[in-house]
Structure 1
Amino acid sequence: MNLSKSKFANALSDPRSGLQLRLPNVRATLQTVQVIAALCVTLLGTGLARAETGVTAQTVLIGQSVSLTGPLAEIGNDFSEGFKAYIDEVNRRGGVFGRRLKLVLMDDGYVPQRSLANTEKLIGEDKVFALVGNLGTANVTGVLPLLEQHRVPLFAPFTGADSLRRTPNRYLFTVMASYGSETEKMVQHLTTTGIKSIAVAYLNNAFGQEGLAGVQAAMKDRQVAPIASAAIATDARDAAVAAQTIALARPQAVILTTAGKATIEFIREFKKTGVAAQLLLLSVADTNLLVNQFGKDATGIIVTQTMPAPFSNKLGVSREFNKLMNSNGKDKHVGYASMTGFVSAKAFVEALRLTGPDLTREKFMSAIESAKNMDLGGYVLRFGPEKHHGSTYVEMTMIKPGGSLFVY
């Protein structure tokens, strides 16, 4: 039955309608009903009752495209395990404002075209609320136009690319320091200790080339330049040639802006040359992989880190991470990559809490911009309307005998 407000009121007062109210104050009751009816019409007419994409009263749907296979498989899997560990714990406790988080996880093999295809599916078919934790510089860069087109936020991508930080982007938020901050720390350390004979081995893609540019810029500020540089393919097929090129220059130190297989194979080949040089690696080099591959021969390698030490109990976030990973039988995944995944998930959940129960994409992004200090347990992120990159935290670590790390 479709009644206007006046007809609805008339029906209530007509005994033949069957809707007559037998209450002492019929007039007051009629007025109340009319107000409620008008309010319902207004709400439905303006569409305010419509929910945000990917959000229901029970769930928030999020998507993630990472490298579970391919040259960065170890990093991608560890990152994903740390991320899921925190999400599962939040769901076990009832979610955020009663909503459990559902993750659609997709493998892109560290191939930018696959990342784009995955993201198109996550947005167009799966209808996710947001993307969280996508991995890779070129992979993330390639999906930004799609995110802007559909107004979908990407939170905590696993990349420190400076190019993603130079141009403000409404839909991009990061929780780790830039690669430029890492290479600055490396060059500062080397030149302060009197080492200026520095070579660079870099991955032959957008990530590696940005890393090379970062080293060159940091050295230029100190009026020096790399004495040699060599590119390495992502599948490491030319790692031996790159190692020989660097070795011929006989540097005191070699900075690697590489990740995954290329890092391992270059180090393996460089050690064969017999040249004694200090090796310095970016945080994405994956310390677990280094220790697993080289054992005691990894001793002395310096790795910059953009996350708190996962093996330490100094900070609350590290204690929480260790407890959760151990209790879930994920001990073999404990490391900096899984810590990055854990922190990414924790920061995302905190952003949801700051947004409040009325969750929309716009309110979510505004809430992050208003989060001046997001303390995750000693690891603090600082955001603002013009500051979407929450961390500048970098520390240098060195692998010790037995595989543990100490901090400079």
Structure 2
Amino acid sequence: MNFRWSALLIAGLLATPALAAGTNADVVRGLAARVGPIVGSASACQAIDQGRVQAIVDKFREVIREASGGGADRDDLTRVFNGYVADGRSRVGAGQTDCAAASRQLVDLERSLGQAAPPQTTAAVLAPSTAAAATAPTATLPVQNSGNVQGITANEIRFGMAGPFSGASKELGRQMKLGIDAAFSRANDAGGIGGRSLRLFAADDGYEPSRTLEAMKQLYEKDKVFGFIGNVGTPTSAIAMPYALQHRALFFGAFTGAGLLRNDPPDRYVFNFRASYSEETDTVVHYLVKLRRLQPRDIAVFAQQDSYGDAGFAGVAKAFRSLGLSDSSIVRFNYKRNTVDVDEAVGQLKAMKYPPKAIVMVATYRAAAKFIEKTRDLYPNMIYTNVSFVGSTELSDELMLLGPRYANGVIVTQVVPAVGGYSSAVLEYKSALEKYFPGEAPSYVSFEGYIAANVLIQALKRTGAQLDTEALIDTLENMRDLDLGLGAKMGFGRAEHQALHKIWGTALDDKGKYQAIELE
């Protein structure tokens, strides 16, 4: 059955109440196998007007609504249709279909639908025979927007972010949001996603897991967001991620390198931009042992006493094992989350007969600065390192308030290039920051938020007009060799939900500026 007669038959079925819903569903299922791949191929081609694609998608959703016998049937038909759409997109991505062919098929489909649909009246209309169909008047099925997908309207796509906007770590939340907002604003000024603006809703959890669930509920159940981006923290993500998974909502680009977001195989709805804490600490341990020539006994850990600190410590232990070293004797000093109470850790360090020569810190900026303040004069040659979550710019600011000697030489591993550089990604980020948030200084945290948001924006654009969570994830899992000017390409796969694995090394100078260092 060609498209013209398929479209005619669907139009007749919709207008004939006497026909059984089961019959309708069978026909729609067959039509989905024909329409879906064409829609998918067209949505993957940027040169094709996505409004045309969306018009067909909206018509088909109306067909599904009319043909299904209830919620479960409707969901099943929608999944079938979405699957065929995803197949069409993947064919373009794999080079099996080119955009010229996709455009021709779309035109043929538009003509078929335009000829097929009869006027929609309250009068019963019998399904047209082949002869009658040849002279059927031209009309279209009702066009609807994506209102049946939460967080997507005709005008906007809503994302949510739970993070600390109060408390000791509030600058991490503010900066992460700043970067995402800058990327969203830049995309919106360029026409948005198929004419829809991106909008970010934020909820404050204070970096306290006990508040995270309410923040997530506010975003998903009250603000009606489509998905989540940029959530801040490991202990809070331990609460937020299961909530997102329960609702099959995208959980993208969280500001944490913890392993709990990096399961093997990966959770379908969880995607990471940044390298993991394990990768950061592995890199810095190798640097200390191989380049700085330290013995294993010379390395200790100062970590937050929660899952964030545990993740970093586990990375150090893994690095020791990869070097053929025992991890049983690694000394760990702790402090409590959302405090700068480091006295116990400092006391334990002072009590050591043979103090370490390097401290790998898995801390936030205020606690890290306080620990350095209380130990720098006691151990002037101590090497301090920290992972990127510390908030590099904020750590520098804290240390420079104490004096240049506290800042000089402090190492921070980064998951983005140096913000003081001149790469195309950095220049674009700084330009967006200056335009949308004049007066805000560049920050490693906001830069990470900016890049993570741009990875998502690319996926949204590639998904095209037929946008829902499953379609977006299919697109993400087929993204390869994405180049945003970082000096390293990014991508995802079905077994790979982390876009980037590269680690950059930086060290503070006596002016509080980060200088690039080689880590290997």
Q: Write the deviation string for residues 144-181 of structure 1: whole angstroms up to 9, x where unpaired.
A: 22222211111111110023213420100010000000
Q: Post-superposition shift, 1:104?
A: 1.0
Q: Write the deviation string for residues 201-248 of structure 1: whole angstroms up to 9, x where unpaired.
A: 110010101111111121133215455211111133530220221243
Alignment of 1:301 onto 2:410: yes
Q: Give the equivalent residue in structure 2 for 1:173.
A: 271
Alignment of 1:233 onto 2:331: no
Other structure's SS at 2:137 match: helix
Distance 1:280 1:237, change over 3 A: closer
Counterpart mapping for 1:125-140 below 5 A:
125-140=222-237
Q: Decide which moves more: 338-347 or 143-152.
A: 143-152
Q: Which letter does structure 1 place at the counterpart of 2:311?
A: E
Work out whether residues 235 and 261 of structure 1, in 8 Å CA contact, stay in contact via their aligned partners in 2.
no
Other structure's SS at 1:353 match: helix
Alignment of 1:182 onto 2:276: no
Which of 436, 441, 448 pairs up with 1:340? 448
Q: Identity over aligned residues, as a percent?
A: 27
Q: Post-superposition shift, 1:49?
A: 7.5
Which of 202, 206, 230 pairs up with 2:307? 206
State the TM-score, normalizing by the size of structure 2: 0.69
Distance 1:4 1:117 in 2: 50
Alignment of 1:256 onto 2:361: yes
* Superposition RMSD in Å: 2.4
Q: Write the deviation string for residues 117-165 of structure 1: whole angstroms up to 9, x where unpaired.
A: 1112222222211111111112112122222221111111111002321
Distance 1:203 1:144 in 2: 20
Q: Write the deviation string for residues 87-135 of structure 1: whole angstroms up to 9, x where unpaired.
A: 1121122211100012111111101122211112222222211111111
Q: Give the equivalent residue in structure 1 for 2:252.
A: 155
Q: Post-superposition shift, 1:385?
A: 1.1
Work out whether residues 78 and 334 of structure 1, in 8 Å CA contact, stay in contact via their aligned partners in 2.
no
Q: Decide which moves more: 315-324 or 231-240.
A: 231-240
Alignment of 1:53 onto 2:150: yes
Q: Which runs of 5 or more residues in structure 2 are unaligned? A: 1-120
Work out whether residues 145 and 153 of structure 2, in 8 Å CA contact, stay in contact via their aligned partners in 1.
no
Q: Give the equivalent residue in structure 2 for 1:12.
A: none
Which of 496, 500, 506 pairs up with 1:387? 496
Q: Give the equivalent residue in structure 1 for 2:122.
A: 2
Which of 429, 437, 443 pairs up with 1:321? 429
Q: Give the equivalent residue in structure 1 for 2:23.
A: none
Distance 1:238 1:257 in 2: 15
Q: Which runs of 5 or more residues in structure 1 are unaligned? A: 10-26
Distance 1:251 1:49 in 2: 59
Q: Which letter does structure 2 place at the counterpart of 1:359?
A: L
Q: Write the deviation string for residues 170-198 of structure 1: whole angstroms up to 9, x where unpaired.
A: 10001000000000011000110211211
- The total of aligned residue pairs comes to 382
State the TM-score, normalizing by the size of structure 1: 0.87
Q: Give the equivalent residue in structure 2 for 1:17.
A: none
Q: Give the equivalent residue in structure 2 for 1:287.
A: 392
Work out whether residues 203 and 218 of structure 2, in 8 Å CA contact, stay in contact via their aligned partners in 1.
no
Distance 2:340 2:150 in 1: 44
Distance 2:199 2:232 in 1: 19
Distance 1:342 1:207 in 2: 23
Work out whether residues 74 and 260 of structure 1, in 8 Å CA contact, stay in contact via their aligned partners in 2.
no
Work out whether residues 310 and 321 of structure 1, in 8 Å CA contact, stay in contact via their aligned partners in 2.
no
Other structure's SS at 1:317 match: helix
Q: Post-superposition shift, 1:71?
A: 2.1
Which of 469, 472, 479 pairs up with 1:361? 469
Distance 2:436 2:393 in 1: 19
Distance 1:399 1:236 in 2: 24
Distance 1:339 1:50, change over 3 A: closer
Q: Give the equivalent residue in structure 1 for 2:136.
A: 31
Distance 1:382 1:234 in 2: 33
Work out whether residues 131 and 154 of structure 1, in 8 Å CA contact, stay in contact via their aligned partners in 2.
yes
Q: Post-superposition shift, 1:72?
A: 1.3
Work out whether residues 228 and 246 of structure 1, in 8 Å CA contact, stay in contact via their aligned partners in 2.
no
